[in-house]
Amino acid sequence: MPGVIFEDQAPRVESGANRMDIALFVGFVRLAAGAVISEDSPLFQWLDQRGWIGKPYGRPWQTLYDLPVPIENWPQFEALFDWQNRTADNRDGATYLGAAVRSFFAQGGRKCYVVRVGDPWPLQTSSGERLERIGALIPGHSGRLLPSPRDRRSWSGIGHVFGLPDVSFVCIPDLVDAVATDRTQIEVPAPVIVAPEEFVECSALEPEPPADRTVRDIGAPLCDESGFANWKRALQSAIDVISRAAYKVELIAAVPMPRGELAFDTAPPESRLQLAYPWMRTPGSAGLPAQLESPDGVLTGILAQNALMRGTYTSAANLHTGDAFDVFPVLDRHEQQDRRLIERVSIFGPTPDGLRLLSDVTMSEVEEQRPGSVNRLVATIVRAARELGEEVTFESSGERLWAEVEGRLDALMRGLWLEGIFNGTSPSEAYRVRCDATTMSQNDIDNGRVIAIAQFNAALPIDTITVLLIVNENTQIPTIEGEAA
């Protein structure tokens, strides 16, 4: 038809959609001076296969601006990004994004994606300017149009999660710096050095070298009441984006250091949100203000290692923090026993065996689903069930298809039960799967919609959890997490 243009989207190359250890980091970092992405490089080929080179979805790949870059190890990140220099004059220290990615690999992470959304701002940048740049991290923030999973042109910042089905965690290390109050430089008196007098020959005058300046005289980002309100709005915007992803994805975020009383309870009560506190000192934080890095990169790395070594459905609580060697502020005994804090925020703290993760929880309103291990178990089942459903999307609805879906889900749940993930001495005690006329209305059947229900008892002191798998006739397969029953 005249005026109608059809555009084929480039094929999406999948890479283990059921992995539960891969993270997406989005933030501000400079491209390394010597980084050259040639057209015969594996990175160029990877981007080209996914449609990011050339029309209609091409981006400025030479600068890796707003593109998902797969990173398999820390040296690969360092070769591409100048993470230790916030500004070109090398006077403002390192970047929070770089420190977080370093900690992710130091804790045992094996793979992540990095989306560079621009160069970092100088440390003394005003609050208003920093808040304006949150939109680059979180599309849809402050009333902007939300990105669409179906429109690749709208994918920016964390919106790239729509094209990365193997991602389980999203991390935005620059967010706390963006919502912090304006910094005040701490005056550090210069040392007085008295040198003995001595005779020197006359020489031509040379310019004096620039005065030494490090980030040690710059305070760490702090939040007041207004900052926490901006932080909450940004987190909600991020959750609004990732909740549109086909797979269940979790946002890992750092609680800001307060300029006053800690206000973690202002965060959205969402099962997709896992908060980390307090801030940490690591080998990578030496170039950051006050030598402190936000703990979200450390927590993401621990969760990735836990998924690889012990299974994502096990709690990561009490795991060692690798090369992280200190926290600030150190929570006193009363704060560590505060149920409002320990039950809603993943806390790091010292123990007789060293620094460890003391709690592994989400911000879910449903208490039974608040443990991080339960939330990740649901995400695992959602991902596996969705993949099973995609294989039968175009088959005709009927008793034969219902039996096939039920059989596949039963095999999935039986495998999890054999791994000891569910409570129960027999499959019938541990889980139940149904896909028949009782799980669908006549309207569902008439419209070709297939609904399967899986109920299970996790190997934790919680109630039964229900997950629904819905296969629509329009090839969408949304999976809905039910309430604890």
Q: For CA atoms 115, 116, 121, 126, give the dihedral sign.
A: negative
Number of Cβ atoms within 10 Å of the Cβ of 228: 23
Question: Nearest to residue 270, comparing CAs of 314, 235, 241?
Answer: 235
* pLDDT of residue 202 exceeding 90: no
pLDDT by residue (tens digit) across 6-41? Answer: 444 444 444 566 788 999 999 999 999 888 888 999
Q: How far apart are the first and last CA of the chain?
A: 53
User: Got the DSSP string for 199-222?
Assistant: --------PPPPPP--GGGBPPPE
Contact status, residue 32 vs residue 82, Cβ threshold 8 Å: yes
Q: Which regions of 268-313 does DSSP assign to beta strands (E)?
A: 273-277, 279-281
- Higher-pLDDT residue of 480 and 167 is 167
pLDDT by residue (tens digit) across 432-457? Answer: 999 988 898 888 888 888 888 888 88
Round to whole Å and give the CA distance between 80 and 160.
Answer: 19
What is the mean predicted confidence (pLDDT) over 317-334?
A: 88
pLDDT by residue (tens digit) across 161-196? Answer: 999 999 999 999 999 999 999 876 443 334 444 445
Round to whole Å and give the CA distance between 339 and 345.
Answer: 10
- Higher-pLDDT residue of 70 and 206 is 70
Lowest mean pLDDT among 77-86, 102-111, 212-221, 246-255: 212-221
pLDDT by residue (tens digit) across 269-322? Answer: 888 999 999 999 999 999 999 999 999 999 999 999 999 998 888 899 999 999
Per-residue pLDDT band at 68 (split at 50, 70, 90): very high
pTM: 0.84
Mean pLDDT rounded to a whole number for the chain: 84
* pLDDT of residue 149 exceeding 80: yes
Round to whole Å and give the CA distance between 168 and 274.
Answer: 12
Round to whole Å and give the CA distance between 6 and 116.
Answer: 30
Number of Cβ atoms within 10 Å of the Cβ of 388: 20
Residue 304 neighbours by CB under 8 Å, 6+ apart: 21, 22, 23, 104, 107, 108, 109, 110, 169
Q: What is the largest CA-CA distance in the chain?
A: 102
Instruction: Count Cβ neighbours within 10 Å for each residue of 62-72 and write b for 16 or more, e otherwise.
Output: eebebbbbbbe
Number of Cβ atoms within 10 Å of the Cβ of 246: 18
Say what the pLDDT of residue 3 is. Answer: 58
Lowest mean pLDDT among 143-147, 206-210, 282-286, 336-340: 206-210
Say what the pLDDT of residue 263 is. Answer: 64
pLDDT by residue (tens digit) across 102-141? Answer: 999 999 999 999 999 999 999 889 999 999 999 999 998 9
Measured CA angle at 365 (ends 20, 311), to 5 deg: 20
* pLDDT of residue 236 exceeding 80: yes
Say what the pLDDT of residue 396 is. Answer: 78
